[in-house]
């Protein structure tokens, strides 16, 4: 059992109050939250006691949309228009990816997640056996979203993957989805709808990332992507959309009614000049919102602190209103919100019996001082520098700048750089 003591605890289980409690972790779960009596404390045997030194323990961040292995394209092509970027730079490079590449570049992404306090990814990519191996080897949690589209994947393969990866490891789960409407034939999408209904499962996809995507969908089907998916019955058991920059009023009503998750990616939408999602409106409507980084090729960082600042900042600019999209709402989106969006209902908050997916925020850094308001400090001023410890499923994977994985970070960097020669 691991004991965290002498710190501040933000459970997020019931608002944003911070208590000076203890948290104990037994194997992969939280076993105690509160102020232990001397008796209870004496009766425990801890394998490790971590003095928080006044720092903050809180639920870890979850990255609700990413393509981990795309670290191989970080700063490979930037400052270019979206279409050129995709067709001239990204697609030809991706065609050369082997399973070993996927393994190596996913490992690199996991290092970055951990250094940003992220303990789970909602990932959409390919060569899933190698991808899964990288996560299990690292001890990192991931939810795979099927990326089925006209260039790869099929409902049959998805069903096989669903049954296989949901029974591989407690760290791995699998959700149905397709890459996007614009990359996937209607017949294939209908096949996925049958799967969602057969297994009573939610559906996820890229959705309304660009205006062009929505306009083309309307010209094909006389419906927005959200309307199309909804009419096909894909959202009968919930799900969500990645990006959601160009949702219509009716789309938002569907999101609200079906309890879908709008998973926003402001870093990527900014850098690729896709636009600004209407988060404030969705917040007002009570739509579920989660946050993802998208892949490192488009962002270029897997940094939840940057994303949180952009989520709130871009709404303030969009509405020319400094009170738009308050900080605490954003902190919730990046932690409990993202966990729920990914189906990780046992990883959302700090509570007895929940998974021990935790982060320690270093308050003893100049950007967290003075201490007027800790949660606002995190959203408006926080950075990767403030991540002191990252724990996934009860295991400390990052602490005081040191990674505890199955291989060293230097080995991961070296292999990733050597592999660049293959492209």
Q: How many CA atoms lie within 13 A of 409 on its CB side?
A: 13
Q: Which of 197, 193, 63, 195 is nearest to 140 (CA)?
A: 63
Inter-residue contact 347 to 63 (CB < 8 Å): no
Tell me if 215 contacts its own copies by CB under 8 A: no
Closer to its own copies at the Cβ: 353 or 401?
401
Q: Which of 306, 321, 240 is nearest to 268 (CA)?
A: 306
Q: Which of 46, 91, 151, 413 binds its own copies (CB under 8 A)?
A: 413
Tell me if 293 contacts its own copies by CB under 8 A: no
Q: Which of 17, 100, 156, 321 binds its own copies (CB under 8 A)?
A: 321
Per-residue buried b or exposed e for 312-329, using 16+ beta carbons within 10 Å of the residue's own CB: bbbbeebeeeeebbebeb
Q: Which of 272, 257, 314 is nearest to 291 (CA)?
A: 314
Q: Which stretch binds its own copies (CB under 8 A): 55-63, 143-151, 223-231, 363-371?
A: 363-371
Closer to its own copies at the Cβ: 256 or 365?
365
Tell me if 79 contacts its own copies by CB under 8 A: yes
Q: Which stretch binds its own copies (CB under 8 A): 118-126, 195-203, 225-233, 359-367?
A: 359-367
- Tokens standing for residue 137: 């080897």
Tell me if 370 contacts its own copies by CB under 8 A: yes
CB 263 to its own copies: min, Å: 19
Q: How many CA atoms lie within 13 A of 331 on its CB side?
A: 23
Q: Which of 80, 163, 215, 402 binds its own copies (CB under 8 A)?
A: 80
d(CA 66, CA 89) in angstroms, rounded, equals 18
d(CA 69, CA 91) in angstroms, rounded, equals 14
CB 183 to its own copies: min, Å: 20
Strands 118-123 and 29-34: unpaired
Helix or strand or coil: residue 224?
coil
Q: Which of 12, 56, 108, 344 binds its own copies (CB under 8 A)?
A: 108
Task: Map residues 112-151 to x or -, x wherever contact with its own copies holds by CB under 8 A.
Answer: x--x------------------------------------
Closer to its own copies at the Cβ: 22 or 63?
63
Closer to its own copies at the Cβ: 38 or 320?
320
Tell me if 402 contacts its own copies by CB under 8 A: no
Q: Which of 171, 277, 314, 359 binds its own copies (CB under 8 A)?
A: 314
Q: Which of 96, 286, 420, 422 binds its own copies (CB under 8 A)?
A: 420
- Tokens standing for residue 98: 């082997």
């Amino acid at each position: 059992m691991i004991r965290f003591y002498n710190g501040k605890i933000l459970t997020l289980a019931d608002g944003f109050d911070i208590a000076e409690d203890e948290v104990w972790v037994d194997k992969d779960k939280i076993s105690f939250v509160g102020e232990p009596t001397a008796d209870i404390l004496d009766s425990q045997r801890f394998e490790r006691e971590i003095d928080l030194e006044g720092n903050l323990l809180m639920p870890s961040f979850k990255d609700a949309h990413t393509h981990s292995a795309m670290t191989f394209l970080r700063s490979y092509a930037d400052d270019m228009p979206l279409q050129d970027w995709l067709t001239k730079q990204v697609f030809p490079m991706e065609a050369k990816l082997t399973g070993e590449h996927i393994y190596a570049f996913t490992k690199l992404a996991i290092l970055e997640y951990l250094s940003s306090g992220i303990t789970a990814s909602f990932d959409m990519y390919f060569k899933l056996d190698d991808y899964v191996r990288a996560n299990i080897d690292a001890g990192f949690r991931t939810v795979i979203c099927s990326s089925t589209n006209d260039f790869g994947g099929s409902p049959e393969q998805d069903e096989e993957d669903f049954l296989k990866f949901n029974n591989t490891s407690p760290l791995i789960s699998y959700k149905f989805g397709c890459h996007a409407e614009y990359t996937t034939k209607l017949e294939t999408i209908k096949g996925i709808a049958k799967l969602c209904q057969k297994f009573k499962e939610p559906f996820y996809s890229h959705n309304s990332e660009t205006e062009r995507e929505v306009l083309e969908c309307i010209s094909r089907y006389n419906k927005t992507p959200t309307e199309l998916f909804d009419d096909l019955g894909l959202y009968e058991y919930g799900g969500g959309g990645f990006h959601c920059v160009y949702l219509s009023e009716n789309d938002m009503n569907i999101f609200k009614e079906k309890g879908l998750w709008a998973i926003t990616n402001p870093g990527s939408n900014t850098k690729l000049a896709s636009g600004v999602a209407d988060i404030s409106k969705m917040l007002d409507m009570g739509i579920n919102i989660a946050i993802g980084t998208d892949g490192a090729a488009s962002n270029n960082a897997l940094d939840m602190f940057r994303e949180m600042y952009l989520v709130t900042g871009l709404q303030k600019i969009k509405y020319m209103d400094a009170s738009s999209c308050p900080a605490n709402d954003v902190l919730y989106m990046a932690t409990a919100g993202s966990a729920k969006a990914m189906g990780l209902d046992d990883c959302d908050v700090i509570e007895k019996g929940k998974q021990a997916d935790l982060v320690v925020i270093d308050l003893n850094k100049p950007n967290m001082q003075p201490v007027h308001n800790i949660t606002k400090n995190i959203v408006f001023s926080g950075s990767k520098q403030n991540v002191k410890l990252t724990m996934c499923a009860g295991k400390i994977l990052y602490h005081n700048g040191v990674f505890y994985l199955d291989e060293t970070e230097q080995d991961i960097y070296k292999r990733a750089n050597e592999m660049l020669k293959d492209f």
